[in-house]
Amino acid sequence: MANTSDVIIIGGGIIGAATGYYLAKAGLKVRLFERGYLCSGSTGRCIGGVRQQFTSESSIKLMMRSVELFSEMGRELGTEVHWHPGGYLFLAHDESKKRAFLSNIAVQQSAGLKDVRWVDAAEVRELFSLVETRGLLGGSYCPSDGQAYPFAVVGGYAGKIRELGGSVHAFTEVAGILQEGGRAKGIKTAAGQEHYSNIVINCAGPWARDVGRLGGIEVPVEPERHEALITEGVEYLGMPMLVDYRTDGGYFQQFRHNGQFIGCYTPQPNVPGTSSESTYGFLREMPRRMLKLVPALGEVKVIRQWAGSYEMTPDGNPIVDRTGLGGLYVVAGMCGHGFMLGPAVGEAAAEFIRTGSRGGLLADFALERAFSSREAMK
Ligand SMILES: Cc1cc2nc3c(=O)[nH]c(=O)nc-3n(C[C@H](O)[C@H](O)[C@H](O)COP(=O)(O)OP(=O)(O)OC[C@H]3O[C@@H](n4cnc5c(N)ncnc54)[C@H](O)[C@@H]3O)c2cc1C
């Protein structure tokens, strides 16, 4: 049948594109459907940070694998993805944060992340002289963390899916999941076209709950709105991603390839929903927070702001699993870390979907779980 493939993927962000690539690489014919342009969801709205500093062994190991995949990605996909291991520095301005970071570092090192370490304020000054160190006790620093460019990564995966015999259908909304005898049999687009496959994968990010419901499945993913901004490009200053967890802190880094600073902060209280409206409040506040940490940025101009969604599960960990509808899988709920998790999650999810074997990396990511633990390095 003309409209038949081995796999249908719903969602053209990093998770759909990476999962699709690894399935195509294993020889399966993949069709990927995206209702907007590729990266129009969260992926194109993220700030491109990639770190291994997490608090659970499974997330640390998964992210170590992702970093390996990011570092080989340019060669693997045959395109520049702007991977740059510029490091991440989590800042501690009080003793309790310092204690927490020191205990996280011990967990991270015992999970195999050898280059993460505590740096005191004097060393921060020595390494990154532009960072304001008044009131700083030090930080958790991992130089092998880094950055990549989301549009290039997703474009690279999508190009490879096509090259390997699959297809990518942008501006094609999935409006229904076809079912027969208690199994998924394909999808129906909003324009009424049917496409058939025995495997359908929900990679719809913040919309994973809506897409799950097309198959009668509840997926516990709640969208949460986050704003971001980007500056003009300036000379590369060689700083890591700075993460400041204080209530008036934020996260930002400078892209190595074009010199633009990009950053965001987590609003308090959290803002539920998928609204992509951006606010004047954020535009006023974010530069102030950046200047507090790096006063030298005073002359750098903000050129754009936007909003997107984190895709939160109750315990801060992803969901990668089969569902109660045969043939329907879910790979979603990356909780604001989906860009960095994408390569390793895509690879592991593809292996699970092909072979049925979950492997150690996906152990904590079942759809039916207690959702009781919490990731602390959000
Ligand atoms: C401001 C901000 C900063 C961030 N910074 C980082 C960061 O530095 N590092 C990091 O790792 N993560 C970061 N994130 C989180 C990251 O962007 C997400 O976790 C990740 O992009 C999720 O990828 P995804 O593929 O699951 O979802 P998405 O990229 O949202 O892809 C899902 C796609 O599904 C499509 N879709 C939905 N319903 C349908 C349908 N019915 N039919 C067809 N298509 C459909 C959507 O249009 C969307 O494009 C940030 C997020 C935000 C908002």
pLDDT in tens, 246-269: 999 999 999 999 999 999 999 999
Confidence at residue 2, expressed as pLDDT on a 0 to 100 scale: 74
Strand-pairing partners, residue 120, are 138
Measured by CA distance, the residue closest to atom 7 of ligand 1 is 49
Cβ-contact 305, 227 below 8 angstroms:
yes
Burial class (CB in 10 A: 0-12, 13-18, 19+), 151: middle
Residue type, 57: E
Q: How far is the CA of 309 from the centre of ligand 1 (A)?
A: 7
Looking at residue 378, its pLDDT comes to: 64
Helices (H), 118-272: 121-127, 150-163, 208-214
| DSSP strand pairing (7-10 vs 200-202) | parallel
**Segment-wise mean pLDDT, segments of 10 residues, the chain, 378 residues:** 91 98 98 98 98 94 97 98 98 98 98 98 98 98 98 98 98 98 97 98 98 98 98 97 96 98 95 94 97 97 98 95 97 97 98 92 90 68
Whether 113 and 175 have beta carbons less than 8 Å apart is answered as: no
Other C-beta atoms closer than 10 Å to the C-beta of 265 total: 22
Q: What's the pLDDT score for residue 1?
A: 59
Longest dimension (CA), the chain: 67
Please say whether the beta carbons of 17 and 161 come within 8 A.
yes
**Nearest-atom index, ligand 1, CA of 334:** 19
Q: What's the gap in Å between 117 CA and the centre of ligand 1?
A: 30
127 CA distance to ligand 1 centroid (A)?
33
Q: Tell me the pLDDT tens digit for each residue of 32-91.
A: 999 999 999 999 999 999 999 999 898 999 999 999 999 999 999 999 999 999 999 999
Q: What is the pLDDT of residue 371?
A: 85
Residue 205 Cα to ligand 1 middle (Å): 5
pTM here is 0.97
Residue 175 Cα: closest atom of ligand 1: 41
Task: Report yes or no: 159 and 18 within 8 Å, Cβ to Cβ.
Answer: no
Phi, psi torsion values for 161, nearest 5 degrees:
-60, -45
For residue 361, the model assigns a pLDDT of: 85
Summary mean pLDDT of the chain = 96
CB-CB contact of 276 with 307 (8 Å): yes
CA 17 to ligand 1: nearest atom? 25
Write the DSSP symbol of residue 13.
Answer: S
